[in-house]
Amino acid sequence: MTDGVHQRTIARPVSFRGKGLHTGAESIVTFCPAPENTGVRFKRTDLPDCPEIPATIAHVIPTDIYRRTTIGNAQGVRVYTVEHLLATFLGLGIDNIVVEVNRSEPPFADGSALPFVETLLEAGIVEQTAARRYYVIDKPIVFAENGIEITALPSEQLIISFFADFANPLIGSQAVNFVIERDTFHHEIAPARTFCFLHEVEELQQQGLIRGGSLKSAVVIGETTILNERLRFDDEIVRHKVLDILGDLYLLGCPIKGHILASKSGHAANINFVKFLRKDATRIMNTTNRPPVFDINKILECLPHRFPFLMVDRIIELEEGKRIVGIKNVTINEPFFQGHFPQRPIMPGVLIIEAMAQVGAVVVLGTPENRGKIAYLMGVDKAKFRKPVEPGDQLRIEIEIVSARKSAGKVAAKAFVGETLVAQAGITFAIGK
């Protein structure tokens, strides 16, 4: 991946203006510096309160990944066609940035990422203090769906190998292999434009798409000729497929160290592959040394629990209204070990449930309408304990919100030690004063 071990942002705000590919509306996108550990966030400045949407797989709209990648929140706010911007941030090694956009779709420029690369390089990229986090592929991973296959292999760098095979004889079969570094991305991948086939144009227009499309923003391929004057590369089509998969991969929330081999994949398969990877993400990213989103002081502000019943040491991931990841360090000094199998100390299952419930309470109480309230444990469903938790273990508790209302909430909870699932349960809360 791009060189450097520290996180990066841009030196100053910078803007770009143009039409959205699918909406056809004029929009302005402003790239803004962001503090460490912010990640990539899109901000709709045209809406009341300027809602922000983190560019993560949890915020992808699964019904809108046919010809583009769309992110949104539970309130129905959307930002369409974000994949080229995300690929640019990944390719340039930008970890933290706020993307202000005054419409539902950012400008599409010329169908490539090159204008965004040049705009951000003009703003300047600066190094921050915090360490960069990576998703490290430490073993072969194979994902297959509907004849499409994506494989991830261990590698110290991000490498993309892509094979595309089209029935159209003007394109045929194309394959590329790139080590993703800043210069390579800038000159070999970013200039590759999006494309479509002439016979698809009418169908896409009937679906309300490509309203802003033209030969200035896409390569259009007919049965016997390519309608554009020239291609930027002989294999521009497959290079653009690399651009798209890079953008979708950045929805993991951090760059990858691994070799990705993709065959014939598009946005839908890319997104499902990222979801597949995301199940293992916090296990592979070395959570032990990750800076907390909530330290113990913030946790104490949120939860009413105190010694010996506070079961959360820190929160390392938080996506408001979606999910949370918390850490519980299990030491021999825990008071329950004195009476619970003292000759063979094991953490009681009910306290593992309590730890999961407390992490779940943090995310349920994190919504604006629930701040300052208390989450009362009301029900536990389908609890399973798969492996004993012993002194010296570190519980990593992953919570997904199933439902959240003003008076109640339900979460799906899983607890891991290392890569091993040790417990899981559905937990229901009542929200009160």
Give residue for tokens 């203090």.
129
Q: With b meaning 16 or more CB within 10 Å and e meaning fewer, what string describes 72-92?
A: bbeeebbbbbbbbbbbbbbbb
Which of 220, 217, 256, 1 shows the shortest CA–CA distance to 114? 217
Note the helical H segments in 231-348: 236-249, 267-278, 281-284, 296-302
Answer yes or no: are the C-beta atoms of 95 and 8 closer than 8 Å: yes
**Cα separation of 160 and 144, whole Å?**
17
Q: Which of 186, 199, 267, 305 is catalytic?
A: 267
Cα–Cα distance for residue pair 371/369, rounded to 1 Å: 6
Cβ–Cβ < 8 Å for 255, 90: yes
Task: For residue 340, indicate whether it is catalytic.
Answer: yes
49 φ/ψ angles, rounded to the nearest 5 degrees:
65, 5
Q: 282 with 304: CB under 8 angstroms? A: no
Q: Is 267 a catalytic residue?
A: yes
Q: Are 364 and 404 in contact (CB under 8 A)?
A: yes
Task: Tell me which residues are annotated as active site.
Answer: 267, 340
